[in-house]
Copies of this chain bind each other. A is one copy, B any other.
Amino acid sequence: MKKYSEMTVAEMKSELELLKAEYQKLQGENLSLNMARGRPSEEQLCIAEDILSDKSYVAENGFDCRNYGIVDGIPEAKRMFAQILEVPSENVFVGGNSSLSLMYDCVIWSVLFGNINSEKPWKDCGKVKFLCPVPGYDRHFAICEELGIEMINVPLGEEGPDMDRVERLVAEDESIKGIWCVPKYSNPTGITYSDETVKRFAALKPAAKDFRIFWDNAYCVHDLDVENPDKLLNLYTECEKNGTLDMCYIFSSTSKISFAGGGVSCVAASKGNIAEIKKRMTIKTIGYDKLAQLHHARYFKDLAAVKDTMDRHSKYMKVRFDAVLDTLEKELSGYGIAKWTNPRGGYFISFDTIPHCAKRVVALCKDAGVVLTGAGATFPYGKDENDSNIRIAPSCPTPEELLLAAKLFSLCVKIASLEKMIG
């Protein structure tokens, strides 16, 4: 095997011909596979199926969950998330199926009304900016884009965002009001923020008094190596030590623990933030679905129950990650045309082509029946200046399908790379 960069143009052309023939053959197989979104597989959706058998409706405080009331969540649901996130129960607000919508609400309310540390609503602050570690999660970026909040890229490394840059930017620019973080098994690179990174987050001194860290702990218990999981330092505790607890909103959900289509979500925050969220939420709803909260809290009655469930998830996930990673290794290593992450949890593999090839790879895959997340999606405004990052979501197809999809994907990477290098 030879690095492509060491080939002559003639060698590259000849190699490209062979690969294209192989591509055409695979195209003929009419594949229809999807590695675009982090959807749990059918097997995973069956793990917590007993939740669906629970007909109970009385919460531990005697409240009939079938009726109106309790806007901030029933006690046992608060405790469930409190245990998962290692925060006090009384600092947890429990919502409905979507943690994204809780994040959305927190941003929207800040725009319309300001948060508890705001002098005025963000809509009256002129330009408002958020820091966005990249590559990152497209749905975070979409909220900012919808609201006209300017996004500033910050590189995400092995230990988290470039904290020198984060510290400098938030200290010098009071129009920077927030930052999006997926601190454990980051979407899409899979890294977990180091202890130092978390400590530096808790010690931030933003010029904007109403700055907020949107800490989307979506993969808090979503380990692949269950015996030796990544450990994320607790931002809540660190902020408490620093007297900066108002600065963070911590989100999580059971979407990838029980059911992505019928789970429960939460936000954990300071006493003042939670009071504010409850106050705003009371205008919007009489309450979230408390039956879902109850059935989840009874099923995940302690951390052992959560761990048991996540162990089962990890088995289904590991075989899928392995199918893709083994194929990438086999098909692409040594050519000098790609690098990718080898995550220890979460839902994604982050893949980088040589510059200006990602869009072409995604298009080639699509034309052969394999759908990937759009190239650029991992960057604000969909703009990956290098056009090199691709998010691979291996959770949903079967391992057999993934072998095929990853093989096709590798082929497309080779083709796109050679096309680019030949020019």
A→B interface (CB under 8 Å) = 37, 39-40, 42, 45, 49, 52-53, 55, 57, 64-69, 96-98, 100-101, 104, 108, 111-113, 123, 139, 142-143, 146-147, 255, 259-263, 280, 283-292
Contact A260 B67 (CB under 8 A): yes
What residues of B have a CB within 8 angstroms of the CB of A64 in the complex?
42, 45, 261
What residues of B have a CB within 8 angstroms of the CB of A65 in the complex?
261-262
**Smallest CB–CB gap between A422 and chain B, Å?**
40
What residues of B have a CB within 8 angstroms of the CB of A66 in the complex?
45, 259-262
What residues of B have a CB within 8 angstroms of the CB of A143 in the complex?
283-284
Contact partner of A101 (CB less than 8 A), chosen from B53, B259, B285, is: B285
Which B residue's beta carbon lies closest to that of A71?
Answer: B98
User: Can you give 16 A-B contacts (C-beta < 8 A)?
Assistant: A39-B68, A65-B262, A96-B96, A96-B97, A96-B288, A100-B284, A139-B286, A142-B283, A143-B283, A146-B283, A261-B287, A261-B289, A261-B290, A262-B289, A263-B289, A291-B292
**Smallest CB–CB gap between A332 and chain B, Å?**
29
Question: For the complex, what is the distance from the CA of A154 to the CA of B45, rounded to whole Å?
Answer: 52
**Smallest CB–CB gap between A9 and chain B, Å?**
45
**Smallest CB–CB gap between A339 and chain B, Å?**
29
Contact B68 A37 (CB under 8 A): yes
What residues of B have a CB within 8 angstroms of the CB of A53 in the complex?
55
**Smallest CB–CB gap between A300 and chain B, Å?**
16
Contact A98 B261 (CB under 8 A): no
Question: For the complex, what is the distance from the CA of A259 to the CA of B57, rounded to whole Å?
Answer: 10
Contact A285 B97 (CB under 8 A): yes
A39-B67, A67-B261 are known; give 7 further A-B pairs, CB within 8 A. Answer: A67-B259, A98-B288, A112-B112, A143-B284, A261-B289, A262-B290, A289-B289
Contact partner of A286 (CB less than 8 A), chosen from B123, B259, B260, B288, is: B260
What residues of B have a CB within 8 angstroms of the CB of A283 in the complex?
104, 139, 142-143, 146
Q: Given A291-B52, A292-B289, A292-B292 in contact, is the A112-B147 Cβ separation under 8 Å? A: yes
**Smallest CB–CB gap between A261 and chain B, Å?**
4
What residues of B have a CB within 8 angstroms of the CB of A286 in the complex?
98, 100, 139, 260
**Smallest CB–CB gap between A51 and chain B, Å?**
9
Question: For the complex, what is the distance from the CA of A64 to the CA of B259, rounded to whole Å?
Answer: 10
**Smallest CB–CB gap between A402 and chain B, Å?**
17
**Smallest CB–CB gap between A6 and chain B, Å?**
44
Contact B262 A101 (CB under 8 A): no
Contact partner of A261 (CB less than 8 A), chosen from B101, B255, B261, B291, is: B291
**Smallest CB–CB gap between A136 and chain B, Å?**
16
Question: For the complex, what is the distance from the CA of A282 to the CA of B16, rounded to whole Å?
Answer: 40
Which B residue's beta carbon lies closest to that of A100?
Answer: B285
Contact partner of A55 (CB less than 8 A), chosen from B52, B113, B147, B287, is: B52
What residues of B have a CB within 8 angstroms of the CB of A98 in the complex?
284-288
**Smallest CB–CB gap between A238 and chain B, Å?**
30
Which B residue's beta carbon lies closest to that of A280?
Answer: B146
